[in-house]
Amino acid sequence: MTPTGKPKIVTPPNILLEKMGGKIGGIDWQAIERANCSVEGVKKKVADNMLRDLKKLDRALQDYLTAFPVATPEETDLYNAAFETKGVAGTIGFELIGKICASICDMLEKCSQDHEGFIPGLSAHVQAIQITLTSDDMDENSALNRELLSGLAKVIEKMAC
């Protein structure tokens, strides 16, 4: 309050705006373009890392199959690899892969290993990730990918006890 009793409006400094060059007209568009190019480079590296994670998931699936059935599937390397990949994928813009990995985790948590479709269901999930990574369609909202996610969810729904 001011000494006269009227409220005083205080505008805090906008540090981000200052870093961008002041007012809207002062934005350094070249810096933004360089940043966008850097982001594209990072996305390429991330895609390569996703391929590495796919190999890790595939190895974990093979290890799981040799130990099948296991007492606690949610404590296996397959679950841990899917859980880790789910987190990384969702963070860096590969939401579709993150959702497929979340589906693997759901399957390991909820489905009976006695179900005849359990192993083919796990394999289908890993293959779905492989197909997604090698295709150009990474949009989780495309009709094909919505259908893919829906199909994987139905697999879990049919096997869940």
Burial class for 141, CB neighbours closer than 10 Å (0-12, 13-18, 19+): exposed
Q: By the 8 A CB rule, do 130 and 85 touch?
A: no
The per-residue pLDDT string of the chain (161 residues; one tens digit each, 9 = 90 and over) reads: 567 777 777 777 767 666 666 555 567 788 888 888 887 788 778 778 888 888 999 999 999 998 888 888 888 999 999 999 999 888 777 899 999 999 999 999 988 888 888 899 999 999 999 988 888 788 888 999 999 999 999 988 888 75
CA atoms of 130 and 102, how far apart (whole Å): 15
Measure Cα distances from 74 to 57, 108, 160 in Å. 14, 6, 14
pTM to 2 decimal places: 0.72
Q: By the 8 A CB rule, do 98 and 86 touch?
A: yes
Position 111 scores a pLDDT of 85
What the chain holds in terms of domains, given with CATH numbers, is: 54-159 (1.20.120)
Q: By the 8 A CB rule, do 78 and 122 touch?
A: yes
CA atoms of 2 and 53, how far apart (whole Å): 61
